[in-house]
Structure 1
């Protein structure tokens, strides 16, 4: 496996060829994401690129252009194909500088997916944080459905997650079944435990949901901010190409759990290959690019 270390000013990062993942991101030596070891499997999909679909695909089954496809079930307890076809791949390093790295991998058409894709992710450190982008190009002769998300777990500071505050500019969330976490229908956050439009303490709330109805600024940029009681924090921003964001409080059945807050901008919601909601259709020769950034606060 290949690892690339990059740095710029107070920021440093480590990117691994495993899943094209961000393994480490620090600001003045402080962790901004939950990291993982240099070897072995990546726990909890930390920092990977999820494509050509994000989140869960129910039963791994879908139809596209009149043809049935069956993806492998990698979440057997929920009967789902989780996070696409690129997370277990070894991505190749395509370009590096002292402050940036670009990696790529391919998805080949087969019984699980109709199209040939070239995927490329770029990580660039600047004075104001880590800037990232992911590009998909349809290199084959057949159209394919497409969705994508990065999968970082943010770390606000040294206090437990329950003591952090969250600002999440989203007015709706996708309700899911309690057993399989599959979509049921849209709900408003107003007045409920998922309403973080005004910054407030997370407390014991458990979240593993996709949010939309996102408020952005004049440049069509949206931001999630998480703060620690000590005054430190972290921010993830994304553009209009991401209509959704998955938030997960990283709850585990055994300790340690709630180590960080997963903030995953998504181009489409869970199971979009079946619902069609906000699904991108990549025709032969088409490309799609989406960007996000992570920076320290405080």
Structure 2
């Protein structure tokens, strides 16, 4: 844990809270308490996600846990047990962005060699007048790094809920434009200039930008969209994969509890931050779900809901490696 004391003996915490390291074999993940965020994940001697330091303010939402909604609520307004108005935390576009817990300093419940559990509590407040306890576990195994998020409604009324992670997957060689993306999605949620939803379309609507059902290089495509109607394997998992020219890369897999996934090519005006990784965010509901009700989790008093996803390295068989 990164902390020291002032001359008065008061604790001084790092900008991103406390750092907790977990390991399994040669793999290591670092979780920080602010936002219950994944600060790094390394395996095979390389980064699997875009890292940051506990000693810096987390860059945007890199690695954060998102709840009680992922993505955007346009204008921050919705109807649920009356009219609700949230603070506009994305003022440039006029939206409430990525929930209420991503900048909270979560409490550590358990920290073992290969897992860590954290918790926080959403208190009733303007725009979200419900009390919801949220816990998350990161567990590192030979199959990858699995995060599970569980919410329990502590209120006496039903509460709307959604969740997602916000990791940026990376491949070890080359730049994002040269990486290959495999995204088994048939439908994309189109947006306007404010990134507000304006209806779905088949990915063939703009195949060069949205259709990655057959893996191919990302190229110059600029993506910040939600996708659904996901192809899944026999176990019910959808797999989004990004690899470099040698076949090394990262995979994020998730089950039917997340029927949506947001993909963002991290286009930034700052060239030093531009397109450094590919955000892959499996979501329990789409953007604006508090308004549309689509795939929205509604927690009865005392009820729980959970979702999980796994990030894993992609290592090609030796026979496929270039000489």
Shorter-chain TM band: over 0.9
Q: Compare 206-215 and 54-63 and name the one that shifted more.
A: 54-63
What is the match of residue 138 of structure 1? 153
Q: Which of 271, 275, 297 matches 2:288?
A: 271
SS at match of 2:60: helix
Kindly indicate whether the alpha-carbon contact (under 8 Å) linking 2:48 and 2:250 is maintained by their aligned counterparts in 1.
Answer: yes
2:198 corresponding residue in structure 1: 184
Q: Deviations over 1:163-210 (max 9, x none)?
A: 0000000000000002x1000000101261210001001000000000
Q: For residues 110 and 253 of structure 2, what CA distance do their matches in structure 1 show? A: 24
8 Å CA contact 1:114, 1:142 repeated in 2: no
Whether 1:119 aligns to 2:128 is no
TM-score (norm 1): 0.97
Structure 1 counterpart SS, 2:87: coil
Corresponding residue number in structure 2 for 1:80: 95
Tell me which residue corresponds to 2:177: 162
Deviation at 1:82, TM superposition (A): 0.3
User: CA offset at residue 230 of structure 1?
Assistant: 3.0
Residue 50 of structure 1: how far off its partner (Å): 0.7
For residues 232 and 295 of structure 2, what CA distance do their matches in structure 1 show? 18
Q: Which runs of 5+ in 2 are unaligned?
A: 1-16, 316-323
User: Is the 1:45–1:151 Cα contact (8 Å) retained in structure 2?
Assistant: yes
Tell me the CA shift for residue 39 of structure 1. Answer: 2.6
| Alignment equivalent of 2:254, drawn from 238, 241, 252 | 238
1:25 aligns with 2:51: no
- Runs of 4 or more, structure 1, over 6 Å off, are none
d(CA) in 1 for partners of 2:20, 2:226: 31
SS at match of 1:192: helix
1:59 Cα deviation (Å)?
1.2
CA distance in 1, matches of 2:258, 2:161: 13
* Structure 1 unaligned blocks of 5 or more: none
How far apart, CA to CA, are the structure 2 residues paired with 1:99 and 1:254?
Answer: 36
**In structure 2, what is the equivalent of residue 227 of structure 1?**
243
Residue 53 of structure 2 corresponds to 37
Q: Tell me which of 234, 253, 259 is aligned to 2:269.
A: 253
Give the drift of 1:61.
1.3
Does the aligned pair in 2 maintain the 1:100–1:125 contact within 8 Å? yes
Question: Which has the greater radius of gyration?
Answer: 2
Root-mean-square deviation over aligned CA pairs: 1.0
> Contact 2:162/2:285 (CA < 8 Å) preserved in 1?
yes
1:284 match: 301
Whether the 8 Å CA contact 2:77–2:84 is kept in 1: the answer is: yes
Residue 109 of structure 1 is matched in structure 2 by 124
> Residue 171 of structure 1 corresponds to which residue in structure 2?
186
How big is each residue's C-alpha offset from its partner over 1:126-147, in whole Å with a ceiling of 9 and x where there is no partner?
Answer: 0121111100000121211111
Return the offset for 1:109.
1.4
CA displacement at 1:38 relative to structure 2 = 1.2
The one of 310, 315, 321 aligned to 1:293: 310
Shift of 1:254: 2.1
1:215 and 1:151 map into 2 onto residues whose CA distance is: 21
- SS at 2:207's partner residue? coil
